[in-house]
Amino acid sequence: MKAKKSGDFHEWYPEVILSSKLADYAPVHGCMVIRERGYAIWERMQADLDARIKAMGVKNAYFPLFIPESLLKKEAEHFKGFVPEVAWVEKKEGDGEERVALRPTSETIIYHMYSKWIRSHRDLPLKLNNWCNIVRWEIKQTRLFLRTREFLWQEGHTAHATPEEAEKQVADALDAYADFSEKVLAIPVLKGKKTRLETFAGAVYTTSIESLMPDGRALQMGTSHYFGDHFPKMFGIKYMSEADGTEKFAHTTSWGVSTRLIGAVVMVHGDDKGLILPPAIAPEQAVIVPVFREDSKEKVIGKCEEIRKRLEKAGVRCIADYDENHTPGWKFAEYELYGIPLRIEIGPKDIEKKQAMIARRDTGEKAGVAEAQLEEKVGELLKEIQTNLFQRAKKFLDENTITVKTYSELKTAIAGRKMAKAAHCGNEACEQKIKDETEGGSIRCIPLKQEKISDKCAACGLPAKYTVLIAKAY
């Protein structure tokens, strides 16, 4: 690693991703290749999220990548929001065939199908999730995992009989994302509602989880939208009511997270040596590195293999590196770069002492552990690392979220790459003024848990409507 996280964050970030084999730049501008290590992390995330999604009674399905132009244009507001980002397929089978787009999101194709499938109250709720790729073409600069033309995500889409049921689903999805972020990714988040200017095109309201990255920029980690009966009216998603036998429109929701979560993990937890992966998503939680000379090789490797099997049996994702082309020191640096939570070193003297040396990736601490206690100690250390990473990130978020009461304080906070907590009037003109005069600072969300800071808006002095979080964002 040449770049330093604290010295030049924007050079450090792509370097650590490329060096640790998470991803690489693809031949098409704006696209990336997710390499084997990056995809292994995504699989860990996907497995955990998939279980949470299914626990909400949502089932997986798959919808086409291609969306007819007529469906996109059917909901004008939604289509207008994506016009600059839509990629169109030029080739058509015949003159009478309409253009098709590569999905920038799947609301239109999914709700077209829902209108065919939903007829009665017995068909509700209909709760499906789509694990897929998304294409959004307009991009000025490629940021691996954070902003690319194509990325992977999940998008849940549900239809309900009542607003109450739909809004509960919106809240449940947001809560699931927040819990996943904090307990699995070890990244603290702030839950809130978007302003009207920041609301997803076609939604009644949008909720999100937001976090603050080490460079002082906010990252939207996930969103959950309530559409009301807006899309159902556009696409004819109607059902026959059980109560009075009349035809009513359903109420729909949409919610999703993407591979940008991998970028968040890199930014929040990494250091000058490379990645630091939370044990919950690390493809390998421990690596065993043998240290031997030729006369002790067989004995040391035999012991390493014995311990590897023991740890695997105990549920630890563990590998051992017996490659003799590289020195132990080279291996130490390589596995630090990969962010593997624990390194276990075993040499002839360790075998004599009936112990192993264990080094933590998060703190660098190293200590001898009795061989008989390895399973228990490794389990304890993995839990400690997971907790420590979250606490460190929470400390950073708390220390860099600044309460401001005046416009001068607000602008100073944003210029200093802080998250500003401020009273706001709720007027869109004032919100736009903040964007224009802070060089990109935007209201990230209106926190669900409100606290009163001031009676007056920090930006314009008018009566305050609520407290908001403001920061520059990715």
The domain segmentation of the chain, as residue ranges, is: 9-269, 286-381, 401-471
Q: What amino acid occupies position 453?
A: I
**Which letter, b or e, does each residue of 309-346 get, where b requires 16 or more Cβ atoms within 10 Å of its Cβ?**
eebeeeebbbebbeeeeeeeeebbebbbbbbbbbbbbb
pLDDT at residue number 179:
98
Q: Which DSSP helix (H) or strand (E) runs through 78?
A: helix 76-82
What number does CATH give the domain 286-381? 3.40.50.800
Which residue blocks in 83-141 are alpha helix, DSSP H?
A: 107-117
pLDDT in tens, 163-184: 999 999 999 999 999 999 999 9
Q: CA 59: distance to chain centroid?
A: 21
Spans in the chain with pLDDT lower than 70: 92-96
pLDDT at residue number 84:
80
**Topology at the third CATH level for domain 401-471:** Translation Initiation Factor IF3 (3.30.110)
Torsion of CA 83, 89, 93, 97, to 10 degrees: 0
Cβ atoms of 151 and 134 within 8 Å: the answer is yes
Q: What amino acid occupies position 241?
A: S
pLDDT at residue number 74:
83
Which 8-state DSSP code applies to residue 294?
Answer: G
Sign of torsion, CA 412 416 422 425?
positive
Q: Which DSSP helix (H) or strand (E) runs through 382?
A: helix 374-399
Tokens of 154: 């999940």
Among 360, 350, 349, 223, CA closest to 287: 360
Cβ atoms of 340 and 361 within 8 Å: the answer is yes
Cβ atoms of 213 and 264 within 8 Å: the answer is yes
If one counts every other C-beta atom within 10 angstroms of the C-beta of residue 88, the result is 11
Tokens of 473: 């964002």
Among 205, 249, 211, CA closest to 224: 205
Establish how many alpha carbons lie within 13 A of residue 379's alpha carbon, considering only the half-sphere containing its beta carbon: 10
Tokens of 296: 């002790």
pLDDT in tens, 296-321: 999 999 999 999 999 999 999 999 99
What number does CATH give the domain 9-269? 3.30.930.10
Tokens of 280: 């919950």
- Per the document, the length of the chain is 474
pLDDT at residue number 120:
96
Among 386, 384, 300, CA closest to 346: 300
